[in-house]
Amino acid sequence: MCGPVTVRHVLTTPSPPEEPLPTGLVVRLDPAVQRREDGAVLVGGSPLRQLRLAPAARAMVDGDRVTVTDARSATLTGRLVDAGIAHPEVSPAATGDVTIVVPVKDRTDGLTRLLAALRADPGTAACPVVVVDDGSADPVQVAGAQVIRHEQARGPAAARNAGLRVATTPLVAFVDSDCVPEPGWLGLLAGHLGADPRLALAAPRITALPVRAEGWVARYEALSSALDMGERTALVHPRSAVPYVPSAALLARRSAIGDGFDESMQVAEDVDLVWRLIGAGWRVRYEPAARVAHEHRVDPRDFLTRRAFYGSGAALLAQRHGALVAPVVLSPWSGAAWALALTGRPAGALAATAVLAEASRRLAVRVAPPGRRPPYRWAAGLVLRGTAGAGRMLARSVTRHHWPLALAAALVSRRARALVLAVLAGDAVAAWWPHRAEVDLAAFAAGRRLEDLAYGAGLWAGAWRARDATALLPVAPPPVAG
């Protein structure tokens, strides 16, 4: 598909300062990091990185911690943080230099609840609050906050930008009106921004606000919301474990985000902002210790409509960020191995084994230092884990991003039909298993399948409207970097 020519406002995204991490900052290695060659090599991060430490750098690593004491240690910690191999340890900071911006449209009950929570939290009670009324049917009237009104709805991006433009503090927090932050959330995020001069955004974990509503949507959303990025801290990066953070709650450095959100986007404007910042050299961090509860949609029609709406944003992101939005990241080696294995024949399985063995050999030779024996066993383990991850991604593609193709194949091929049914069942069980004590399989599986159908429909509809298939195409991953 070939998309029409569109004209968009070019948003300003300033470059980050050339400042190292400050003296005294401690960073801790991620628990998933592997150490090789007696600690001289660190492997971890997402996407996967390999860092080989010089003897002087290796001596700076005290157990799983590195402290910034001079220019050399600042350089090392910066590399570790940028690779996602280590994360800063920070304490909550004062929030007197934060303005809170709340976009709202017709959700006065939620707005009242949010403002009450902000006033009850010592960390936010004194923060100036700007409420942006984006064309509510009844104009918003609140005490203790500055109100900006759009007579006609202009969308969440424009509402947030309106608040951004009147803020004068160095930091700006964006909080949606259907959220209820937990006490202390803002101080934790401010601590990260105070500790890292190149950090543009910090985001909390978005959890489910307890509701009285019954039904499969409420149970499913409480456990598997698209807004919840998980329980592990992370450096946000496209094609990583945390590729973006939602704008339901964010803390931003005002000098970093420039013109703010793209007002031409009614969906995925938060992902676009995050990726623009990362592309300009800024860091973005996800901190799950800070928590903000969100009132999820529990009406089935609203839930599915919203998921389709989210899916339609991929085409808009593809227009701005190209292949970063690819739904499948698959190496040729893993792709070939799975294609051969799925033939279901012994010869295919043997050929797949040979492909993975050759991929392991090449990786071992490439990462081995001169004069050292290549780490064949380690490389084989890495290749096998990567191939298993690729299999999970392909299965997710069958159920979510590319289900129209899977359905077409299932209609014409008995073998494809059996494979698709197996993937549907396996994906549901694997996703449900960590939550098996909290929800029954039938309810969870129904929610997952319907969510995937809605998201995939929105994805394909968005690509069709844009006449651009970029959001549907797979890409190869970058090589293991060092």
**pLDDT tens digit string along 137-172?**
999 999 989 999 999 999 999 999 999 999 999 999
Asked if the model's pLDDT at residue 4 lies above 50, the reply is no
Span 222-243, mean pLDDT?
A: 93
pLDDT confidence bin for 371, thresholds 50/70/90: confident
What is the pLDDT at residue 7?
40
Spatial distance between the Cα atoms of 177 and 386, rounded to a whole number of angstroms: 40
Task: Say which residue the tokens 């024996």 belong to.
Answer: 373
Spatial distance between the Cα atoms of 350 and 343, rounded to a whole number of angstroms: 11
Question: DSSP letters of 39-52?
Answer: TTEEEETTTTEEEE
pLDDT confidence bin for 216, thresholds 50/70/90: confident
Secondary structure element (H or E) that encloses residue 301, with its range: helix 300-321
Residue type, 355: V
What is the pLDDT at residue 3?
45
Asked if the model's pLDDT at residue 186 lies above 90, the reply is yes
Helix axes 403-412, 414-432, angle to 10 degrees: 140
What is the pLDDT at residue 5?
39
- pLDDT tens by residue, 445-474: 999 999 999 999 999 999 999 999 999 999
Q: How many other C-beta atoms lie within 10 A of the C-beta of residue 407?
A: 15
pLDDT confidence bin for 213, thresholds 50/70/90: low
Which phi and psi (to 5°) does residue 397 adopt? Answer: -65, -40
Spatial distance between the Cα atoms of 380 and 358, rounded to a whole number of angstroms: 9
279, 322 Cβ separation under 8 angstroms: no
What is the pLDDT at residue 286?
98
Residue of 273 and 11 predicted with greater confidence: 273
What is the pLDDT at residue 83?
93
pLDDT confidence bin for 215, thresholds 50/70/90: confident
For 453, what's the count of Cα atoms within 13 Å in the CB-facing half-sphere? 11
Question: DSSP letters of 114-160?
Answer: HHHHHHHSTTTTTS-EEEEEES-SS----SSSEEEEESS---HHHHH
Domain-wise residue ranges, the chain: 26-89, 98-298, 332-472
User: Which residues are within 8 A (CB) of 219 and not within 5 positions of it... i.e. 6 or more apart?
Assistant: 438, 439, 443, 444, 447
Q: Are strands 234-235 and 283-294 parallel, antiparallel or unpaired?
A: antiparallel
User: Which residues are within 8 A (CB) of 335 and not within 5 positions of it... i.e. 6 or more apart?
Assistant: 390
- pLDDT tens by residue, 5-51: 344 456 878 999 999 999 999 999 999 999 988 888 899 988 888 88
- pLDDT tens by residue, 408-437: 999 999 999 999 999 999 999 999 999 999
| Cα separation of the two ends of the chain | 37
What is the pLDDT at residue 9?
52
User: Which residues are within 8 A (CB) of 48 and not within 5 positions of it... i.e. 6 or more apart?
Assistant: 382, 386, 480
Give the CATH class of 98-298. Answer: alpha beta
Residue type, 307: R
Q: How many other C-beta atoms lie within 10 A of the C-beta of residue 478?
A: 12
Task: Say which residue the tokens 């901190």 belong to.
Answer: 287
**Minimal CA–CA distance to 464: which of 328, 356, 312?**
312
Asked if the model's pLDDT at residue 182 lies above 50, the reply is yes
- The average confidence (pLDDT) of the chain is 92
What is the pLDDT at residue 476?
85
